[in-house]
Amino acid sequence: MSSGDTKLTNALAHLGRNPAISGRAVNLPIYQSSTMLFDTLAEFEQAREERYEPGVLYYGRYGNPASFELEAMMARLEGGDGCISLSSGLTAVTVAIMAAAKAGSHVLVADNVYGPTRMFCDNVLTRYGVEIGYFDPMIGGGLTALMRDNTSAVVFEAPGSGTFEVPDVPAIAQAAHAQGALSILDATWATPVFCQPLSLGVDVVVHSGSKYISGHADAMIGFIVCKSAHYDEMRKMALAFGDRAGANDIFLALRGLRTLEMRMRHHHESGMKIATWLAEQPSVSRILHPAFADCTGHNFWQRDFRGAGGLFSVVMQPVGAGQLRAFIDGLTMFSVGLSWGGFESLALPVNPSPMRTATEWSSEGPLVRFNIGHEDPDSLIEDLAQAFRHLA
């Protein structure tokens, strides 16, 4: 990981603070709001007129001073013009796609995307006359051959959060752009600390803020970040669904951002140490981690990213289901659980094969995904070593 970006470090401490709201307190309050009051009908009418603009106080669903501060901060961190905070990462993904797609259009989706993103496309969008096509995440500029006149959006992840292929982000964004389709990138793994996809040509970046951004496994929040050209359509779609981030989650996301860079640095270092140790274990076949030279798309990671999180997968040597279970259950410092990006370490067997349609996923043994938290890495290694004995 390269040395810290001082501009970003300082921005994380100083953005998202507004004394006009917080008074003498450092932090913004948990801003509970529904009704906003106006002294005159004329003031109300003006707010109604401008209600889609960021910062306009109209009604709680349209945002409040704390949500606007957080959104402005996220937009700045990503190098975007606008951000919309939503009730979850999945809502950020689905609202962004809905804003681009329409009946009779075609949406291209990377074959390795987050499962629920795929389920939304297959189970919901298709009911409204949107055709879905899947593509090899490593297709790069070859995406042009799959683009059609009616392709409205290209949805992908960098890297895929189960198998960790790193796509050629600028090439895919460029191929989408050339045909007038919106490129939507889920950048949850990288966070703005490690990658700024808008600068790579992506139109719309989405995040699950439930992961690294809030960082403590206690918030559900999502973000859509984009340049001004797409802000209006994204915001209007979010409001059409009536979705918004809750006041408490906004507070937790803002607080998480304060330590995001140092946490990411720790995730990177601890993750590398443990992945490097894992690579040498006889029960392990290979490591799926973008910073490893043999990871698919490692060269794109080197070019476009400044670091790696603590989330990666391990391909185990062939092993019986019972033994794998004994290994997972034998871990005492890693728990089994969904989500990731918190301070606590997690281990989860994942099986990408049944989800894929454009590419085939096969591996010599089962896949285990690790979230490396903030525990002492040597203690985590000791724990893994004792659990591996279940496989011997």
Q: Name the residues annotated as catalytic.
A: 61, 114, 186, 211
The least distance separating ligand PLP from the CB of residue 206, rounded to whole angstroms, comes to 7
Q: E strands, 120-254, where?
A: 131-135, 151-157, 182-186, 204-208, 222-226
Q: Is 89 in the site for ligand PLP (CB under 6 A)?
A: yes
The residue among 175, 64, 160 whose CA lies nearest residue 352 is: 160
Going by C-alpha positions, the residue among 182, 181, 228 that lies closest to residue 52 is: 228
In angstroms, the CA 143 to CA 253 distance is: 35
Q: Closest separation between CB of residue 51 and ligand PLP, Å?
A: 26
Which of 69, 71, 131, 157 touches ligand PLP by CB under 6 A?
157
Cβ closest to ligand PLP, residue 64 vs residue 208: 208
Residue choice 94, 183, 191, 208 for contact with ligand PLP (CB under 6 A): 208
Bridge partners of residue 315, in order along the sequence = 286, 367
Distances (CA, A) of 123 to 97, 182, 318: 14, 21, 34
Specify the stretch interacting with ligand PLP by CB under 6 A; choose among 14-22, 83-91, 263-271, 342-350. 83-91
Distance CA 74, CA 83 (A): 6
Q: For residues 367 and 387, which CB has a smaller minimum distance to ligand PLP in the complex?
A: 367
Cβ neighbors of 207 (< 8 A, separation 6 or more) are 74, 89, 92, 186, 187, 188, 191, 213, 222, 223, 225
| Structure-block tokens of residue 55 | 């910062």
Q: Least Å distance between CB 229 and ligand PLP? A: 24
Tokens of residue 19, six digits = 């004394």
Kind and range of the H or E element at 83? strand 82-86
Q: Of 66, 198, 220, 308, which one interacts with ligand PLP (CB under 6 A)?
A: 220
Q: Which is nearer to ligand PLP, 277 or 361 (CB)?
A: 361
Among 114, 120, 135, 231, binds ligand PLP (CB under 6 A): 114
* Among 51-59, 89-97, 172-180, 352-360, the segment contacting ligand PLP (CB under 6 A): 89-97
Nearer to ligand PLP, 369 or 390 (CB): 369
- Closest to 238 (Cα-Cα) out of 54, 79, 66: 54
In this chain, which of 80, 197, 222, 290 binds ligand PLP, going by CB under 6 A? 222
Number of residues that bind ligand PLP (CB under 6 A): 15
> What is the contact surface with ligand PLP in residues (CB under 6 A)?
88-90, 93, 114, 157, 161, 186, 188, 208, 210-211, 220, 222, 339
